[in-house]
Structure 1
Amino acid sequence: MSLPADRDHPGDHPAAEPAPNGKRLPRGVSPLPPGVSPEVFTPPGSPGSLPGAGVPPPGATPPPVPGQPSALPPPGTAQLWTVSSTRRGDITAEPSVVIAPESAEEEPSGRLRGPLLVIGGFVLLFMLAYGVPATYMWGRVLPGTHVAGVRIGGMTETAAIDRIRQRFEGLDRQAVPLVVDGRRVGVLDPQEAGLAFDVERTVAAAQKGFPSPVAVWQSLTGDRELAPLISVNTAKFASWMRGVAKDVDRTAREGAIVYTGTTPKVVPPRDGVILDQQAAALTIKRAFLSRPAAITLPVATVRAKADAAAFNRRLAMARGAVAGPITLVNGNRRVPLSPEVIAANLVFVADNGGVVRPEFDAKTAVTDYETTLVGASQAPRDAGFVIENGVPKLVPARTGRGVNIGELGSAVSKVITKGGGRVIPVSLSITEPALRDQEAASFGIKEKIGRFTTFFPCCAARVTNIQRAADMVDGHLVRPGETFSLNEIIGRPDRSRGFVPAQLIEGNRLAIGMGGGLSQFATTLYNAAFYAGMTDFKRGSHAFYVRRYPLGRDAVLAYPDHDLAWRNDSAHGVLIKTAYTDASVTVEMWSTKRYDRIEPETSPKSAVTQPHTVTDDDPGCLPMDGAPGFTVTVTRAFYQDGRLLKRDEPMTTVYQPRDRVICAPPHSPTSDGSVDSDQSGSGTLPPSPAIRDNAPPGNGGSGRNKDKTKNKNRGNGNGHGNGNSGNGNKRK
């Protein structure tokens, strides 16, 4: 049997033959799979197709296989390949090797190569576009940066700080007006308010390490404006804001119906304003660095409880309230409250619901009548003092029976609101004294600490008002730390309380009005308190100088606008005692002395202005002689143990010139004559040109002063508060 040329026995060929596919196989390796006989490739009917048929005879050459080169051994060397059995199990298979095709090297897909190249390009471009400028910007303020309009981009931190400081130099010293509704209410002083421009922190916030891509992009494509940072002294700013609020805040003025005599008049309400401190603080801080012409502060409106229309609707009721007297009855005791008394103690005010209702001050109304209603033996009595032989003596307090004030006030208001009978039975209640013996004894009332006397012509109508005021103040005790108010004690001067019309100062002219002369008593009381060492005076001076008073130490009284008030700053109580004659009034202060003496130091007159002459044909004209105006300053000096202890702040008074007034027709016979007598009272007075005033002490003449106990006491009249007898020289 002949075999294919590439499948000869391995021992018959010294070299490997080429495989059918053109490749050369290793020596001894057959291209056929194991167990496959070459006979399967012999065409049918050929000599080698039968068992044993393919064995060439000896010496014969096997036929060549088409397409294969002849690789037979030389003749004489051929050997027979005898197959003993055609069964698979009888054939001994020679080992064969399967040659797998060589795998090609992995190469990137053509679909991924392009995107990867694009991404790589973008990454490289980004690193170039960001890294280069970021490296340049590192350590500098980012380009395009502005702070309050100042360009600092690209600068180092030090250079940026220097530029900003040059731009805002002096900012902490620039005052800016504060405005509310177009009205100037103060100024912003940055140093006083505790505000400062924090330049270092502002620049530090503008540059923070290596810049981010976003920061680089913003720097390359546009500008950025940084808000300047300020430093605030919190405690100082809060204190300053409270002061601003005090100047801005205006409480709402509630409306009311009050009486002039017995004629009711509506006092219209007025809304108030209050500073919105939180919003104002934010507004001020924001405006601080912008240097505005003014800063408008935010405020909130505070509404009054009721509008003017609500009060106008109550005018008819107010007129009916004083149409006649109201009679108070206690058994067989009867006291009529005249329309004048009712009017003096009645007002119409709005409650919290906005309803206008009458309010009657029953306590004040019955003060002068309670003893009559109750009886002197049953009325309560506060502890007090009388002066016996120059020594204060305690008068013990007493519990008694008094008018039930709450019930009386409600009863009067009911009569006014609903009408009906005007006779009111009063109920009585046990009334404790307001001042008991132990407290009064602890006040240290033991010696005279101040005294002053003023004089007036006898028998004028104004003398009645002076003496009535002296009676009301006599025996009043001012507790330690308490503030005394003359208007609170005297109240509205009217006929029901014993006052009469008299000459007073109205504007810069003389006139006739209710309570004329009260300013002379106020001046006397003020000077007694001046020499007693009292403090915190609240007073107004006359528009022009009245010669009978000390320079710069006069006082006006006009209810309710002009008051005389002072504070007892000592650790002791102060007892006020008064005495008067037909030509003088004296006020004494009793307590415990703190100083040996107190002396006024009065400056010479300055800024003298000359008067004019005016002719007046008004029927109520009162003539006046002219006098120059001037300015004067008084300082109070305190002495202790023979040496100067301290001085008060100087008090300056500006007096206007007193015009000479010539009345064309004869002037009114009710005039008191000379303008040098005190004509001021409760009339309408202009605002005083100065709150403080003073002058050298003049001496009042000695005289006999009659107090309410009918004791005759020699008065000193010197106004020095030292208790010595008068020297007979009249104080000017």
Structure 2
Amino acid sequence: MPENHDHQSGAEPSTERLHTGSDQRSSEPERDVERTTRIPPVPAADEGTQRIQPTAEPESDAERTAQIAALPTDFSNFPIGETQAIPQVAGGWSAAVPPQSPAQRKKRGLIRAGIAAGAAVGVLALLYVGDLALTSGTVPRGTVVAGVAIGGMEPAAAESALKAELGPGLDQPVQLQVADRSTTINPADAGLQMDWSATVAEAGEQPLNPFTRIASLFSTREVAPVSHGDRDQLVQALEQTRPQLDREPAEGTIRFEGAEPVAVEPVTGQFIDVQRATDEVLTHWAEDGPVQVPFTEKPVSTTADGVQRALREIAQPAVKSPVTVRGEGKNATLAPEAIAAALRFEPGVEGGLKANIDLPSVIGAVEPQLADTIKPGKDAEIVLEGGRPVVKPSTDGIGVNWDKSFERLMDVLRAPQNRSVQAVYEHQPAKFTTEQADKMGIKEVVGEFTTGGFEPASGVNIRRTAEQVNGAIIKPGETFSLNGHTGPRGTAQGYVESGIIQDGRPGRAVGGGISQFATTLYNASYFAGMQDVEHKAHSYYISRYPAGREATVFQSPSGASIIDVKFKNVSKSGILITTTWTPSSITVKLWGTKQFEVSSQTGERTNPTQPHEKVVPPGEPCSPSKGSPGFTVTDTRTIRDITTGQTRNETQRTRYEPQPIIHCGAPPA
């Protein structure tokens, strides 16, 4: 290669531009033949700055060849702050470029990034302002009310859309859901009404926050419908749903299908919270789907695992095979079905169940089989023969002590083998012996009373009560209760419906007429000198009864005593009650040893109260009545003890209400 020469002079050397076939020309004229420029190798960093000069020798007509040394890939050794000549490469040209430090390069990058960011912010600002202008006065984007999208609409249009979509269904029953139970309420009955304008207003205005506006492009916002209602009216409607939504807690147990035990898992109780439920219904009643009603839960003490444990460890072994009851000369069998019928379960420890035996059920299954080995006892009786009391003697018996016989039955039921128990026999004396009956001193009538004038149906009930009371014995110091002695008086006990009149309206009730027997019994005890413990007169006076000396009785539908006739035996002898019934009368007698002489004095009727008139509308059942005035009356009982000669007076006051005058239909002019 040609040797490189440095052009030296006393002046500062200049850098000459290199041209290789370009359109650019130097200021000096060149020859037709292009010059060949020699480029020296790039010196090391310590050699100083080199300047490239063209050779002075003319070049041939042939194309100049630029010989360029390889450029370094590492520019870190370039001198900083000086100008470095960059050679021309591959037919182009290069001016001298000052090298940059890392700080300069970083600053330049930051400037470029700032310019780009500013441009982006400007674009976004323009978009934001434009979006504000386009959506001004409309419902915020993404707003949904009960499944109806109203975002971006004018308020009036949003109201119209809600009315069109939701309005037709608002008169439909609203479904309420509590766990696995549901029911419905009528919106009109509950006072529920939709407020469309308030619902749209609830959605608010277009947000100014740019991030919120951007998010609204990709999301929805639920707005609850706004409704109005009479809160008290809604509370009343929800209270009426309790039977359908509330649930009493039920402990787990085991029931039997024949002799097959079945586990019954516990169920917690649930009771609706009416006040919170009112808020929920007001908020969500117009939405699709049922309203989830808030409720409180009442836990139970048993668990599903505890019930299963009792099933495996108690119930299934108990009915696996029968149990033998060994009697004297004869055995009885307690079959699996009888065991199942007698088993009772209640909550136990650790969520489990505790088993018990219902003794009467077991006795009922076994006793008939052992009847030949049992000799029943018999209590003494006092009966009338030839019109006088006669004592029928008592008899002792031999029976089974069932408590002792079955005290180990639960252990036997758990055992897979040796399933038998021994019947324990014992002597059973009479509870009311012949000696006790003889000492009662029941030998004569000490008090009696008779009433009559009842209708046939009432007569049936009076007769049934007389049958139950006949033969009752009251020991000295004991108290007799009519309701307690007869127990419930329903159709199952042989009582029938009979006619009654209540404020002029005829009706029927089971047990009607019992008050006539109560009045008869009360007067019999009155003249026998018994102590009055409880009695109540009728509200209206009934003419077939003595004024101020009569009684009524009443029981609830379940047989619980509400109004009763009670008296205490204060004599030294026992008292026997006998009854005599005819189709037109009832007589009650008390027998004992006469100890008291009794007389009655009824006072004048005072404080009369005139009846008011009452009209029963036409077409309704009615029993006309002329009515009768109310009044107050006193009765004085004088009792003389014939054994001591002592006398005492007892006075009671009775107030009767006037019976109304009943008109059927329009009253007379």
How does the TM-score come out when normalised to structure 2?
0.39
Q: Higher relative contact order by CA 8 Å / sep ≥ 6: 1 or 2?
A: 1
Q: Which has the larger radius of gyration?
A: 1
How does the TM-score come out when normalised to structure 1?
0.35
